[in-house]
A = this chain, B = another copy of it.
Amino acid sequence: MITIKLDKTLKMPIYEQLIAGIKNLIMTGKLHAHQQIISVRAMAKELGINPNTVQKAYALLKQDDLLYSVAGKGDFITENAVHLKDFKKDEIKELFYTATKQAQNAGMWIDEIFTIIDEAYSSN
């Protein structure tokens, strides 16, 4: 059973949370190439949101070449999705960059940062 967490109280729009959730399922291998993804209407029902919101997320994923649709059948994961980790790595690198810059402004030492990373990496 595939589960995606949504938090309506967050500022982040539902469709973005859904996209992030699906990307995560792909990266963690829970969704693989050519596998069919749950239908727009079924996903909406399962998450308790509007089908239009799901469709928006799927459309954007299709635009990013992570999903392709077969008329009348459904949506499937693309081959290209394998490279998601590579694209994601660039985004993550940017995350670390801005976080590090903020840490410097806050007067943190690099060893302090390393300790945090170590702690986060080891924890489950």
Contact = CB atoms under 8 A, between A and B. Distances in A.
Interface of A: 24, 27-28, 85, 88-89, 92-93, 95-108, 110, 113-114, 116-118, 120-121
A121 B95 CA distance: 13
A44 B20 CA distance: 37
A96 B110 contact: no
Contacts of A27: 105-107
A99 to B, nearest CB: 4
| A contacts with B: majority SS | helix
A103 B92 contact: yes
Nearest to A114: B114
30 contacts: A24-B105, A27-B105, A27-B106, A27-B107, A28-B105, A85-B106, A85-B107, A88-B102, A88-B106, A89-B106, A89-B108, A92-B99, A92-B106, A92-B108, A93-B116, A95-B99, A96-B96, A96-B99, A96-B103, A96-B113, A96-B116, A96-B117, A97-B116, A97-B120, A99-B99, A100-B117, A100-B120, A100-B121, A101-B120, A114-B117
A6 B7 CA distance: 29
